[in-house]
Amino acid sequence: MKVIALGGAGAMGSLAVRDLAKSEIVESLIIADYNMARAAELAGELGEKCKAVQINAENHTEMVEIIRGNDVALGAIGPFYKYEVKQAIACIEAGVNYVSICDDYDACAAVLELDEDARDAGVLAITGVGWTPGVTNVMARKAADQLNEVDEIATSWAAHAADTSGKAVTLHYIHAVTGMIPTYMDGRITWVPAGSGLEMIKFPQPVGALKVFHAGHPEPITIPRYINARTVSLKGGLVEWYLVALANFLVKVKLTDTVAKKDVLGQIFNTILPYLENIGRPPETGSACRADVTGKKDGRWTHIIYGAQAHMDVITGLPASVAIQMIGEGKVTGSGVMAPEGCLPPDEFLKRLEKGGIRLYEGDDMTTPMSL
């Protein structure tokens, strides 16, 4: 299998690249990144099957030509509200399967509109195979499969801001907490204020219990397409409360309401974050997610809870690598634009994540290993 990693030298893409480079099914691996020096350094480190090329996501023709001839492309160029659709369209035109770690709700909704184009081209495009969405969606699928009737799916994430570095992550967070964002209530998409619906959720350590709130993510967009549920929600939060408060203030004074403003603010944040993150920095940082699924089994109300934890690069990059390998192995087939809960076999996918270093849990205490 020939793989090309778009944005493969970035904070999240590089973890997926490292895992793909170890896979026997991957014969060649192109690390395509705007930062050619970083891509070349990574390719040199990983060995002969890897090579680096420079890519500009704003140049459609160049992207298509670079992607063409591969079997699967990893989409890791963020922020995805700018680049998910551009990457997917280039892959469809090139006739190459696509797996992304897209985590922006509007980009997800837009790429789903490419389903017919992907089918016509015989291309399988799986959007949002990362931490959240990705792990959250597949855990929700696993839980829902155990019920006769699903009522509510509540997905959530929490992290230390210091658990990662990368401009796209900062821009994504700013985007997710700005304005009105979609959730799924009583059988339909409903728009609610980002930051509303505050509640305390317990996550695996080292994150622990944390207040989370409605944030803009794809789970409420995609999960109802595959699972018949009355309500699907996504909430998230950072351990560093002062960063949440700062972001909320900047949203309130309308410094995040355009793409241009987000770009400027993202540059400022990425400059000062290394200093802010050191305020009360814990000895161990982490990222976590959880899926709470409520419904009926054999006529009785049942509540199934799953959780996952790892460093952000692992819990985001590894799922995409596993999905790409499963496509290469013929375990995930078809064409069109899909989400992970619609095409990835939950138990095998989660087992492979666990083997790769993601810790999986079940039950509200978030200490009991998940049964797989």
- pLDDT tens for residues 291-339? 999 999 999 999 999 999 999 999 999 999 999 999 999 999 999 999 9
CA–CA gap between residue 72 and residue 96 (Å, rounded): 6
Q: Which residue has the higher pLDDT, 358 or 268?
A: 358
The encoded tokens of residue 178 equal 């700005």
Mean pLDDT of 209-216: 96
pLDDT in tens, 83-108: 999 999 999 999 999 999 999 999 99
Per the CB < 8 A criterion, the answer to whether 113 and 52 are in contact is no
Per the CB < 8 A criterion, the answer to whether 360 and 306 are in contact is yes
| pLDDT of 261 | 73
Homologous superfamily (CATH) of 135-310 is: Dihydrodipicolinate Reductase; domain 2 (3.30.360.10)
CATH number of the structural domain 2-131+312-358? 3.40.50.720
Neighbouring residues of 147: CB distance < 8 A, sequence distance ≥ 6: 293, 295, 296, 297, 302, 304
pLDDT in tens, 33-53: 999 999 999 999 999 999 999
Same fold for the pair 2-131+312-358 and 135-310: no
pLDDT of 276 > 70? The answer is: no
Q: Model confidence at 174, in pLDDT bands (50, 70, 90)?
A: confident
Among the listed residues 138, 144, 99, the one whose alpha carbon sits nearest the alpha carbon of residue 345: 138
Among the listed residues 276, 271, 269, 246, the one whose alpha carbon sits nearest the alpha carbon of residue 162: 276
- Look-up: residue for tokens 């890791």? 76
Domain-wise residue ranges, the chain: 2-131+312-358, 135-310
pLDDT of 275 > 80? The answer is: no
pLDDT of 249 > 70? The answer is: no
| pLDDT of 245 | 74
pLDDT of 27 > 80? The answer is: yes
| pLDDT of 18 | 98
- Look-up: residue for tokens 């009737």? 149
